[in-house]
Amino acid sequence: MNKAAILHIPASEMAYYENKDELHLQLQSAHNDLADVTVLVGEVSGNNNDSWRYESFFMQKIFATRYHDYWEVILKLNKNEAQYVFKVTDTYGNVGLYDAQRLCEATEENANSPHGFIIENRDMRQVTQIPDWVTKTVWYQIQIDRFANGNDNLAKLSKNEDNTTQILGGDLTGILSKLDYLQNLGINGIVLSSIFEGDGPFKLTTNDFYSIDSQFGNKDLFKMLVSNLHRRNMKVVLKMNLAYLSDNSRQWREILEEGQHAKYVDWFNIKGFPPKYSQDPHNKNIVRANYKFSELNPHYPTLNLKNPEVQTYLIQAIKYWVEHFEIDGLILDHADKLSREFVHLLNRNLKKMKPDFYLVGKSELSTTSVVQLGDFDAMTDDALGNLLLNFARDKKIAASEFKYQLSRQMLAQNTKLSRVTLRTLDDLTSSRILTRCRENKALMRSLLTFMYLLKGSPAITYGTELGLSGHDFPSNLAGMDWNQEDQDDKMMRFIKVLNNFRLQNYKILSEGSFEWGQISDSYDYVSFIRRKDKRRLFALFNFGYNGIKFVLPKHAKLILGQNIVDEKSEIGQYGFVILEA
């Protein structure tokens, strides 16, 4: 028995309450080391003189990675305090007991004196609440300036003008005019780029969190947009960046004018006065300043989020948009720059106002632990796209390694929180998924379908349904082409079908179990099953160069497929089938 590999962490993704009466438990062991795991649950007592009374519950192996196996059980609880211990049996028949202090032999003496992991009494159990409506939502991410103009057509990007400065004219009126289009596409949630008064066409920096930039419209127009969305049972989420302000903001300008006596001097991290910066004469990419700035840009002075005044300002500003405009959620960029304490305080305030508010963090770093303790409701999932492309496009990893790595990603979050993860293959700051697929639309459709089959809330970026492409920011933000003659009708129909499939099957896709089926390193195909109650969805994806034989089971129903060669009963390259059996 590999004792060093056995691991359980209480109050984590390995132990959490689904509700006050259900406890999810997971245990890690070395790959193929254990033959059987049961969890023993009993009262918080027991000593060498008394027998410890307990019940046994069988744990099921749910995932395997290259080095570890993972076991899971869902316990039905009563209201009383209890403790649990794991009984592990290896492939040689050796039996051990694993509790909060030790891994010991399964003797009667040890069994009667457990140092178990504690289950609190019902009143003390901390249950993380998630906004359930997110599991029923398909998102559409909009860069406002590049989507639609309500009064005229969008301007065309000039080849001679910087994409970061040219304004195409998209506005809130334009979005209002396209709500029928979005609803017909199967979209029931939109993510809006920053609407706040700021600089440039994209408002990457904010001057004033209480104002809507006049380039997009005004507050009355925004209230009308939100009201129309809600009337259609659609949700709206705003993107915000709280890590820094613009150097055109009122707070920073006052510091430049009044120096160290300015009211807002402690809102930033300033080491000398007056605040100033200079570029290295030999390398313009190197900037030196006597204050802290973000994104390698001295025009983005970093906020001091440890300052209670800054925290109050930001929280009150966000509450303003929730109270007066009834927004449904926020995506906070640069989540890794925000302190745990601040995010916790923010979310607590928002949940008091709107219990089902959706607070999402976006970060280039892995911040799973931030989510687990209830600071954010979810994070955006950017890792899935990279993993899929490494396997399906580049063949950098084999199917088995893809399985191991995706399993590890799934295990990084508890099952409950994974239901509201915002899943994307591209967004407003990344290369387009079609470009990442090297303009191969069959591969793009296959990867999108794979994402839609996983737990979480799927999101596409504006223009995906038209086959819009583009490399890294800002070339990924081309203007939306509303000329029907230039649109990709096949891709449009596919996205409609995919969105409706997700909405019709959200229950099994957000709450059902995930079980790997057959995979092949030789032929690069993978399969899996999504299961809930009596329903079962089977998916098979062929990412190999050759066709693979496929036989439709007798009583199975084909729901969705691509590159199916009927006369040969084959699935071609980048083909897939989704069946209900």
Which residues lie across from 23 on neighbouring strands? 17, 75
Judge whether 569 and 528 are in contact, CB under 8 Å: no
What's the pTM?
0.92
CATH number for 510-580 (one of 2.60.120, 3.30.70, 1.10.40, 2.60.40): it is 2.60.40
pLDDT digits (tens, 9 = 90+) for 395-448: 999 999 999 999 999 988 778 889 999 999 999 999 999 999 999 999 999 999
Which of 136 and 150 is assigned the larger pLDDT? Answer: 136
Closest to 424 (Cα-Cα) out of 133, 139, 142, 131 = 139
Among 212, 1, 19, 26, smallest CA distance to 106 is for: 1
* Region 131-145 average pLDDT: 97
Overall fold of domain 244-304: Oligo-1,6-glucosidase; domain 2 (3.90.400)
Chain-centroid distance of CA 216 in Å reads: 28
Q: How confident is the model at residue 160 (pLDDT cuts 50, 70, 90)?
A: low
Question: pLDDT band at 7, cuts 50/70/90?
Answer: very high
Question: Does residue 30 carry a pLDDT above 80?
Answer: yes
Distance CA 393, CA 402 (A): 12
Closest CA to 62 of 74, 53, 70: 70
CB 18, CB 25: distance < 8 Å: no
Say if residue 80's pLDDT is above 50.
Answer: yes
pLDDT tens-digit map of 441-482: 999 999 999 999 999 999 999 999 999 999 988 899 999 999
User: Residue 579 and residue 576: Cα distance in Å, rounded?
Assistant: 10
Predicted confidence at residue 431, as pLDDT, reads 95
What mean pLDDT comes out for the span 6-30?
A: 93
pLDDT at 413: 79
- How far is residue 235's CA from residue 212's CA, in Å, rounded to a whole number? 19
Does 515 score more than 80 pLDDT? Answer: yes
CATH for 138-241+308-381+413-506?
3.20.20.80
CA distance 427 to 429: 6
Listed residue (481, 399, 447) closest to 575, CA to CA: 447
Q: Per-residue confidence at 368, pLDDT binned at 50, 70, 90? A: low
Buried/exposed 472-489: b ≥16 CB within 10 Å, e otherwise? ebbebbbbbbbeeeebbe
DSSP 3-state assignment of 556?
coil
Percent of the chain with pLDDT over 70: 96
Q: Where are the domains of the chain?
A: 3-124, 138-241+308-381+413-506, 244-304, 510-580
Architecture of domain 3-124: Sandwich (2.60)
Using CA atoms, how far apart are residues 140 and 44, in angstroms rounded to an integer?
50
Question: Of 177, 178, 176, 170, which is closest to residue 194 (Cα–Cα)?
Answer: 170
Helices 399-411 + 383-392 axis angle, to 10: 170
Are 3-124 and 138-241+308-381+413-506 in the same CATH fold? no
pLDDT at 373: 45
Phi, psi of 81 (to 5 degrees): -65, 145
Q: Tell me the C-alpha distance between 447 and 433, whole Å.
A: 9
* Per-chain mean pLDDT for the chain: 92
pLDDT at residue 419, rounded to an integer: 93
CB 359 within 8 A of CB 329: yes
pLDDT tens, residue by residue, 215-261: 999 999 999 999 999 999 999 999 999 999 999 999 999 999 999 99
